[in-house]
Amino acid sequence: MRVAVFAGDGIGPEVTAEAVRVLQALDLPGLDLIEGDVGGAAYRKHGHPLPAETLEIARSCQAILFGAVGDFSLDHLERALRPEQAVLGLRKELGLFANLRPATVFKGLEDLTTLRPEVAAEIDLLIVRELNGDVYFGEKGTRTLEDGRRQGWDMMSYAEDEVRRIAHTGFTAAMGRSRKLCSVDKANVLETSQLWRDVVIEVAKEYPEVELSHMYVDNAAMQLVKNPGQFDVIVTGNLFGDILSDQASMCVGSIGLLASASLAEGTYGLYEPIHGSAPDIAGKGLANPMATILSAAMLLRHSFGLEEQAARIEAAVSTALARGVRGGDLGGSAGTREIGDAVLAAL
């Protein structure tokens, strides 16, 4: 069991340390944790946010536990050297094409969102976002047009196999939940979306039990405000998924609790909290490590099939919450280490 641990920037190291303690407490036979540098931390040490050494470690492992990257003081660098490029690089190099972002309101925490509690209580959705294509990875550049004007451009595209693959992920996820899948696109404007929609409809034939619907992205952004409880699984492209998954996460209110998985074909995956590097509170022992601990649970489940151990971690987090242990993000005052201790105690 080889797991890469990439803690990254800001609060990344603190929250990752607690998740590592939880993993170690499980006494998993043969668990090997290998640390590597990513993000701004890696840039400072190696001159690149995703050094070759790090990529090699990733390739030698079966899964990655990831903290957070991001460092405003490196914003002046050319884009290819900025911390966030580590995320994009890992996704592409390792073929992490399926981002699973569950958004569920934890019982008793309905008060934390800006949505009315009765609206928030209904939220239990999973966003399946494609991560390897779309306008993210197309050709792009800045050019000077014939008439002398500068123009920035980015090619958006999806090929049928890219859509088919993520559609299968979406339908499979829906089969394991309430069998409703909503595919989000902008087919009234984009050819990329029209192909997306056509392929999703083709794939649907293999999942006759799943009820498929289609929604334009602008309407989806509206419906996530109006009635987020209507959604079960949403499948969408890289760009729309970026926007909608962040919107959905904030609807839940407790962003310090949300974990995510980025999966390759097979069992390989990268697991990370959805929150960022939070430089304002970094190094102070104030960050809530629960989302990272829950990411470690996802890691055990998806990459190693250790359902029981994953469920144990999740139950321990719930117990700690039920006992009133709350980080600052949840309106409480428990520190990083204290929360880690509480989860370990509950374990």
Note the residues at the interface with ligand IPM (CB under 6 A). 84, 87-88, 188-189, 218, 242
From candidates 32, 56, 93, 218, binder to its own copies by CB under 8 A: 218
DSSP three-state, residue 71: coil
107 is in an annotated binding site: no
Rounded to a whole number of angstroms, the minimum distance from the CB of residue 94 to ligand IPM is 14
Min CB(238)–ligand IPM separation in Å: 7
* Residue nearest ligand IPM by beta-carbon distance: 84
Burial track 71-94 (b if 16+ CB lie within 10 A, e otherwise): beebeeeeeeebbbbbbbbbbbeb
Q: Catalytic site residue 218?
A: yes
Residue with Cβ nearer its own copies (114 or 266): 114
CB atoms within 10 A of CB 161: 10
* C-alpha atoms less than 13 angstroms from C-alpha of 178 in its C-beta half-sphere: 11
Q: Which of 9, 8, 31 lies closest to 21 in space, CA to CA?
A: 31
Work out which of 145, 176, 266, 308 binds its own copies, going by CB under 8 A.
145
Query: Closer to ligand IPM at the Cβ: 7 or 87?
Result: 87
To the query of whether residue 246 is one of the catalytic residues in this protein, the response is yes
Q: Is 124 a catalytic residue?
A: no
Q: Residue 136: which of 182, 101, 97 has the closest Cα?
A: 97
Kindly state whether residue 76 participates in binding its own copies, applying the rule CB under 8 A: no
> Is residue 41 within 8 Å of residue 48, measured between CB atoms?
no
Cβ-based neighbour number of residue 124 at 10 Å: 16
Which lies closer to ligand IPM via its Cβ, residue 262 or residue 309?
A: 262
- Binding partner selected for residue 318 from its own copies, ligand IPM, none, CB under the kind-specific 5 to 8 Å limit: none
Q: Which of 186, 232, 271, 329 is catalytic?
A: 186
**Single residue of 80, 189, 201, 311 touching its own copies by CB under 8 A:** 189
Minimum CB–partner distance for residue 196 and its own copies (Å): 7
DSSP state of 205: T
- Cβ proximity to its own copies: between 84 and 232 the closer is 84
Looking at residue 82, its amino acid is R
Which CB sits closer to its own copies, 47 or 144? 144
Q: Position 299: which residue type? A: L
Q: Tell whether 303 is in a known binding site.
A: no
DSSP 287: S
Strand order in the sheet with 211-216: 32-35, 2-8, 63-68, 269-273, 259-263, 98-104, 124-130, 233-236, 180-185, 211-216
The set of residues, in sequence order, having a beta carbon less than 8 Å from that of 283 and lying 6+ positions away, is: 11, 14
The yes or no reply on residue 151 touching its own copies (CB under 8 A) is: yes
Least separation in angstroms between CB 189 and ligand IPM: 5
Q: Which residues are catalytic?
A: 136, 186, 218, 242, 246
Which positions lie near its own copies, rule CB under 8 A?
79, 82, 84, 88, 113-116, 119, 135-136, 138, 140-142, 145, 149-161, 186, 188-196, 217-219, 221-227, 239-240, 242-247, 249-251
